[in-house]
Structure 1
Amino acid sequence: MTQALPQVSLGSSRLVRFLTDLSVSDTQVSHRQFTERLGQLIDFSDSITLSEAHARALKVENEDAGEFREGITREFLRARSTIVQAAMRSFFPGSGPSRLKWPADDTVPAGADTATAPYLRFYQQQQGDIDSKIRGLHLRTRSAIAPLSVNLARICAIDEALADALASHSRRYLSATAKLLGQRLAFLYDQYQQHLDTDIEPQAAWLETREQYRREAQGLLLAEIEARLLPALGLIEALNEEIKDED
């Protein structure tokens, strides 16, 4: 039996909720607003490409799809888990192999720049890493399911055309997440400085602030990974809707 896949609606996006909780976004997007904004992002030439993808005569290479569905879904879930685990592990140097590592310097920073820049840079590096991995997973997923039925082939053709049309917009909007994180880190650093006027020992206060940096950056990255995975997850959901379990 196919493993249950998460259901994510527009209004319950973990990324939107997380940014709202951090008080850096007050976004409330209705389905009508979403479709209107999506239409504004797709220009006339993109619309033609999408229309052609929808109307394209498609050839199915393999009609014996049942035996492939479970393997494709399982591989997607495995790859998704690997991406998430690698990203989360990088926040705790020493917890396992990781190319990117959370800054380990516990020294009390001399100013706002040294207090935020290394952590923001780490997050931006993580964004580049997960972008590459998730784009690869999306492409592999699309290539795997397209030959299994005419309906899936058409969905994949539209997915490809839509991904091309929205690629630059997606990169721009997701890169803004790092900017919002930078604003949040600056706010936390200001709070830390205010605490220095009390009897709190500076080193202890900084370590507490730095730990809050880690918790919030980690939660934000996890939410961003979820958002970036949605197009590939949509293909997997289409696959499992098209090809049902046989009793």
Structure 2
Amino acid sequence: MTRDLPRTNFHSSQLIRCLAELDLLEGAEPARDFADKLGQWMHFTDAIALSSVLESGMPKLPSQSTVPREATSVRLTAEVERTRAFMISSITKSCAGGNTPIKLPLVEPEVSYAPYRQFYDAHQRDIELSVEPLRVNLRDALAKASPRLRKLAELDVVMERFLREREAKLLARVPLLLQKHFVAQYAAHQAQVSASGQPDTPAAWMHPGGWLARFCQTLQTLLLASAELRLQPCEGLLEAINQKETP
């Protein structure tokens, strides 16, 4: 049975909640009004492009698709769910040490975060390659559905363009925070081993309850939350397609 990605809203994403639970957000920005934040992120040229889309009138010649709206909705809903299922399967199987293209690093006596950072980055590239074409397909469907939805597709293009840099900078902080957690988990493990007077056994690190097994579970949770965050714009476009337009 396919595990659902956690649902979120703008103000309380699963990714933020996970990082907060790990006590890794002491440097987080204070909450402010969304419009205020948006204005600070936007470059002058972005503001012009956004204004152009918002102020333009509805197209006079609707280029509606010959495919019924209901059929398009069913097809795109299935496409979104396939993408969701693929990302969940890829992340959970590889984090469990399965035979997947992105492989979990082998346990080595010489402890290093670097292989896990590479593992995390590889999954981020995989998520991006999965979500980008899906978002393009959804926009194309919006553009063909009606003049009003075509305008929404144009707006999404502009929004993605000027938010991409900001999103990339924020998401790039996650593996750095994860490194902090990795170091803390290993330090706590070393302290526990030292207090017990028993020799350390790297082979047991991935056993249930082992420090590295717990870290890999955290790694999986953050990757799933990141995938959910990247999928949100697609879900918004799909919801627009599924809604009945009022005259």
TM-score bin, normalised by smaller chain: 0.7 to 0.9
Matched residue, 1:218: 220
- Residue identity opposite 1:197 in structure 2: S
Partner residue, 1:45: 45
Aligned partners of 2:193 and 2:114: how far apart in 1? 21
Q: 1:16 to 1:66 in 2, by over 3 A?
A: same
Whichever residue aligns with residue 145 of structure 1, its letter is L
Give the fraction of aligned pairs with identical amino acids, expressed as a percent.
Answer: 27
State the distance in 2 between where 1:130 and 1:143 align.
21
Corresponding residue of 1:148: 145
- What does residue 91 of structure 2 align with? 87
> In the alignment, which residue of structure 2 is the partner of 1:68?
72
Instruction: Encode CA deviations 1:148-180: one digit per residue, 9 max, x unaligned.
Output: 012211111000011011111111111111111
Aligned match for 2:81, one of 77, 83, 97: 77
Question: Partner residue of 2:124?
Answer: 127
Does the 8 Å CA contact 1:91/1:102 hold for their aligned counterparts? yes
Partner residue of 2:179 out of 182, 201, 210: 182
- Kept in 1, the 8 Å contact 2:102–2:119? The answer is yes
Which structure shows the higher helix fraction? 1
What is the aligned partner in structure 1 of residue 191 from structure 2? 194
Distance 1:69 1:78, change over 3 A: same
Q: Equivalent residue of 1:190, what SS? A: helix
Residue of structure 1 equivalent to 2:23: 23
Q: CA RMSD in A?
A: 2.4
The 2-side partners of 1:236 and 1:8 are apart by 16
| Residues 6, 228 of structure 2: 8 Å contact kept | no
- TM-score (normalizing by structure 2): 0.85
Q: 1:243 deviation in Å? A: 5.4
8 Å CA contact 1:76, 1:141 repeated in 2: no
The count of aligned residue pairs is: 233
Q: Deviations over 1:85-108 (max 9, x none)?
A: 1122111233x5x21111123x33
List structure 1 runs of 4+ shifted beyond 6 angstroms: none
Q: Give the deviation of 1:20 after TM superposition.
A: 0.3
Give CA deviations for 1:12-48 in whole Å, capped at 9, x if unaligned: 3101100101110154865x53321121101221011
| Letter aligned with residue 222 of structure 1 | L
| Structure 1: runs of 5 or more not aligned | none
1:6 and 1:242, CA in 2 relative to 1: closer, same or farther beyond 3 A? farther
Matched, 1:240 2:239: no
Q: Which residue matches 2:201?
A: 203
8 A Cα contact 1:76 1:137, kept in partner: yes
- After TM superposition, the structure 1 stretch with the greater mean CA deviation from structure 2, 19-28 or 58-67, is 58-67
The separation in 2 between residues aligned to 1:14 and 1:67, in whole angstroms, is 32
Q: What amino acid does structure 2 have at the position aligned with 1:78?
A: R
SS in 2 for 1:10: coil
Structure 1 residues 104-136: Cα deviation after superposition (integer angstroms, max 9, x where no partner): 23x332xxxx33221122111211221222122
Letter in 1 for 2:87: I
